[in-house]
Amino acid sequence: MSLVRNPVLPGCYPDPSVCRVGQWYYLVCSTFEYLPGLPVMRSRDLVTWETVGHVVDREGMLDLGGIRSSGGLYAPTIRHDGERFWVVCTLVDQNDDQRGGNFVCLADDAAGPWSDPIWLDERGIDPSLFFDDDGRVWIHGTRLVEPDRAEWHDQTEVWIRELDRTSMRLTGPEHLVWNGALTNAVWAEGPHLFTVDGTYYLLAAEAGTEFHHAVSVARADRVTGPYVGNAGNPVLTHRHLGRRHPVVGVGHADLVETPDGDWFAVLLAMRTYGGYHYPLGRETFLVPVVWEDGWPVFAPGVGMVPREVEVPGASAAPSGWNPEGRPGVVAPSDRRWTALRALPATVAAPDGDGWHLPVRADGLGEPGVPAFVGLRQQHQDVDVTLELDVAALQVGERAGLVLRQSEQDHVTLDVTPEGGRLVVRARRRAGADGEGVPGRADPRADALPGSGEPMGHASVAADAGRIVLGMRARGTDVDLFHRSPTPDGPGREHHVATADARWLDTVTTGGFLGLWIGAFATSDGRPAAGSVRVRFAYHPAGGSIPRHQTTTTSLSTHHAAAGSLESELVSTEGDRP
């Protein structure tokens, strides 16, 4: 029995869904406007996860063009029918209700290839799959109740309908089975069906994916209901613990049984720091579950998401773990890399252990396809550096680091050639007013039109054509710096500005995402001709990765011998990841 600290997937891995096939567990989560979409992770112990592929990983599979931040791919569910993997998901365009919808993708192997989307003729969000013992397949999901039937604002309903396996079309009558456990409960969503000892169970979230979030459960003798809620609903929530508790927003759970008959739930929650803020976003946590009197009991004897979970057989690393998960330079082959509304290969090309990034006219402030490659910030305390070769960068173009929440809210540290020198600028773009969060703008700063609020700047010689830009996060303080490498060493570090991560979390900005850190290159709408070569390094403070954390692997190394992971535990306090 191993004690493992939550979260098991730090960083923005929201809306987790899990299933087991033999000795392996498989998990997917939401990715919104980022591609490749819907990472498929696997684990032997529910703790150490390796990314083996993505469901949406080919050009043309889905069109995310123009979809704004916090739109895109919502709340997938993964299941296995004994022969194939199924993932059902929703594509959302918040500006166009007629675009997108629910779809299914199929694969013989979780690593892919996955089929093109098979669209379902049913609106709403958060679809799920249930394979009954009689061979029938049931799709279920949630949607807003029609205004003429709604009893309260943002009332939703969970529906169930059969899916014909042959035609892959919904068939038969629709059954409305759930509106939430409590009267006036908004956003009953994220439904999942299970059978245990001949009884059907409906697990659902409610109250919205924020402070009041909760998990409720109901049961029935037939898959189509009627469902009767647990008298103790919600069966798991943190809303009664207050905003000072280090973990908030618990909900959107999925259940899985181990080969030995133990049960666990994966769910989302947020770790707060810097007050009631959670810049890393909604993360994946693990909670033990037992069955008593025909009902699931979450976190028995504790009643809340535990800081540490006892997991039988949890190991330091799965057999497929490889050094790509270690801190340091993040090579292009690492499966954590994403781009905006396009695959990384659309906007960048691998160049050794870095990227060649052609400048694009699209900027970070519009829902286009900018020259951006990035990955999740997974640690509250982290050092990130970006080494740039800017010899091919043109006047009027800029490239650098971005700490991104959305088009409207991000912080950039970039470099542009001007007058034979390189000018480094720190900027903040703010779509929200950030009330209550103090700014730290450098009064000497200057700005470019449309590039965001100035924070600081510096001018350096352009002789070498190389510069290193960096972000050092310690909690919500994010120091921005630059240095110029020399043949004799890394060069002296120069402070440019300090950003506040509270500017960028969803408490301040709205939306559903945690922070991404990445490289970008833009001409801010003007014709682009230049390019940069970049090399990105990610170092959690202390220099080691959490003992139980996400790892990435290429298909050719699935069965490689495992190394030994360094021993830093994921924690909500003390030595933060």
Q: Which residues are catalytic?
A: 15, 189
Residue 350: asked if its preceding bond is cis (omega within 30°), the reply is no
Q: How many residues does the chain have?
A: 577
Query: Residue with structure tokens 């192997």?
Result: 109
User: Cβ contacts of residue 135 below 8 Å, gap of 6+?
Assistant: none
In angstroms, the CA 266 to CA 268 distance is 7
The SS3 of residue 25 is strand
Bridge partners of 73, per DSSP, are: 32, 91
The SS3 of residue 508 is helix
In angstroms, the CA 318 to CA 328 distance is 21
For residue 39, which amino acid is it? Answer: P
Residue 113: asked if its preceding bond is cis (omega within 30°), the reply is yes
Q: Which two tokens stand for residue 429?
A: 């773009």
Smallest Cα–Cα separation from 232: which of 176, 157, 293? 293
In angstroms, the CA 66 to CA 368 distance is 6
Answer whether 26's CB lies under 8 Å from 332's CB. Answer: no
555 burial (CB, 10 Å; 0-12 / 13-18 / 19+) is exposed
Query: Residue with structure tokens 């809620």?
Result: 229
Strand 24-28 relative to strand 17-21: parallel, antiparallel, unpaired? antiparallel
Query: Residue with structure tokens 């007058």?
Result: 419
Answer whether 185's CB lies under 8 Å from 233's CB. Answer: no
What burial letters (b/e) apply to 441-476, b meaning 16+ CB within 10 Å?
bbeebeeeeebbebbbbbebebebebbbbbbbbeeb
102 burial (CB, 10 Å; 0-12 / 13-18 / 19+) is buried
Query: Residue with structure tokens 């510096």?
Result: 458
